[in-house]
Structure 1
């Protein structure tokens, strides 16, 4: 798996960053994403530092791989995640931004976001319930439409279909 900033931020903020290690190995973080997180720590010191986790590996993404992407309006971190996942067959891109997810899927890159991580974790028996974590995410500023909230609970087996 190769992760974008948002995925790392929100899993860390709800105390569930370890789910990445439990579900995916290895976990790669493009240097551009590390830089975004470094900048974030200037404003919010509790922002996750991937360098403190021995199971997260910072990777450089060749500029030519990013330049080879079709024209888009994504941020440099998202572009790096997609380019790296695209150039490494079988890698999953950890993205939450809707535009980035759709772009990656058009390029036939597998994508999973925070919600998908939580559902996988529940199915793997790593967490007991998804709903309290969804509520925690929302309290941390994660935007989640009501219909997606409800659908997530159904997929996690916490609400009748």
Structure 2
């Protein structure tokens, strides 16, 4: 199907060019803030109502998805805290890092404190027919104004976290 009317996303059309591109943009509420959302589609495939329904469910249950993403971030940082150490060294003059350092009281910034201070800045919904793994990508940052380094939490259609990747 090259176009579809969806209850959550409205009228959508598959891109006509040869590249995957954004076919819908919006925002989703998470606590007292909003997260930018982009729906990407592949021009070589149609639109699947089941995939769109799964995306809509994730967005309406964003607090649960955020909890799962943060648990994966916490586990990832417990295994390798270089992302924390990098930010503590490179952004030591940024208020959030100053606060985390003060709260650590001479110790290393804790994984839990760092994870709690991170926030999602963007959610990518990837409508790629035949893609069995990551379809939702939540980008988390410690401070979007001063760092372009993100932890991208990739989530499968069923809500299972597939990976946590450091991106910039």
Q: Into which bin does the TM-score normalised by the smaller protein fall? A: under 0.3
**Relative contact order: is structure 1 or structure 2 higher (C-alpha 8 Å, sep ≥ 6)?**
1
Q: Which protein has the bigger helix share?
A: 1
TM-score if structure 1 supplies the norm length? 0.22
TM-score if structure 2 supplies the norm length? 0.21
Q: Which protein has the bigger strand share?
A: 2
The structure whose Rg is larger is: 2
